[in-house]
Chain A
């Protein structure tokens, strides 16, 4: 076996070094920074934020990813704030809420408002508003377990 010791490999006429077809390079140690220019294609399918939030009493974020805080604006009106902002306000939201917590009923649900209104705010790159309501009478209500997840593009 021959051993070539160099600190850098550089193309003779440019920045490209071609490995001929049929040639295999075996890495017995550690190779770094190979193929890392294409990370964007894999990030689109990752969920960018998820939250487990207690909307009653202490208004605590039980667990989360990419959430710096949740503002309790009014009864059943919560505004999660992103740690790392989204690229735009057109991301997809989904949410569910508990129907068995203290004071909760099976007809409680989580809703998002597309435009800023009296009740909440439109989704933006840094935050969004959700409303928790009781379907039978339309009233906004604080719920024990509010779960949100966001899919879209990060800034």
Chain B
């Protein structure tokens, strides 16, 4: 096995693009585009707080189930893709929950999102935790 020890990866032909061979060996993917650029673990009840994160600089609690997280190193645009999941506090709270992007408020430097209750069709501060990941291009 070879081990490459370095502090920085930079593409030779294009600084922001490094090709990685796929697991099956017959196709490739892109190192930079495949990385998760931002993620966070938020404690959502009371005054919302970021418990752990990558590339975030703060959170604003806009109201019940309504948050905005600021991104430290901005994305290149507002068309990135996100994933997310909510936690529940107890079995009595185990109804269907969603994390949703707030459509008109996705920006390169921040993401506004909601945590919602499907059964009640309304926003809800989701008990203990919610998680979000962002995939896309960094500026």
Q: Do A and B bind each other?
A: yes
Whether B29 pairs with A66 at a CB distance below 8 angstroms is yes
Of chain A, the residue at the smallest CB distance from B1 is A38
Which residues of chain A from 116 to 153 have a CB within 8 Å of any chain B CB?
A: 135-136, 144-145, 147-149, 153
Most buried by A among B77, B79, B84, B101: B101
> Which chain B residue shows the least CB distance to A98?
B103
Do B3 and A106 touch across chains, with their CB atoms under 8 A apart?
no
Interface residue from B1, B25, B83, B116 paired with A147 (Cβ < 8 Å): B83
B61 at the interface (CB under 8 A from A): no
Give the Cβ gap from B67 to chain A, nearest Cβ, in Å.
13
In angstroms, Cα B2 to Cα A35, docked, is: 5
Once the chains are docked, how many angstroms separate the CA of A52 from the CA of B103? 11
Contact across chains for B34 and A106 when beta carbons are under 8 A apart? no
Q: Give Cα A100 to B121, complex, Å.
A: 12
Partner of A50 from B22, B24, B81 at Cβ < 8 Å: B81
Q: How large is the interface on B (under 10, 10 to 19, 20 to 34, 35 or more residues)?
A: 35 or more
Partner of A64, one of B27, B81, B123: B81
CA distance A65 to B134 in the complex (A): 13
Interface residues on A, range: 35 or more
As a 0/1 sequence over residues 14 to 40 of chain B, the CB contacts with chain A under 8 angstroms (1 = contact) are 000000111111111111011110000
Enumerate chain A residues within 8 angstroms of B98, measured Cβ to Cβ. 96-97, 99, 106-109
A51 touches B1 (CB 8 A): no
- Interface membership of chain B positions 114-130, coded 1 if the CB is closer than 8 angstroms to chain A and 0 otherwise: 10111111110000000
Q: Which residues of A have CB within 8 Å of B137? A: 63
Query: Cβ of A106 and Cβ of B21 under 8 Å apart?
Result: no
- Residue A104 at the chain B interface, CB threshold 8 Å: yes
Does A113 lie at the interface of the complex (its beta carbon under 8 Å from any beta carbon of B)?
Answer: no
Closest-CB distance, B46 to chain A (whole angstroms): 21
B interface with A by C-beta (< 8 Å): 1-4, 20-31, 33-36, 77, 79-85, 96, 98-104, 106, 114, 116-123, 133, 135-137
**Chain A to chain B contacts (Cβ below 8 Å), 7 pairs:** A40-B25, A43-B29, A43-B34, A50-B80, A95-B83, A149-B83, A149-B133
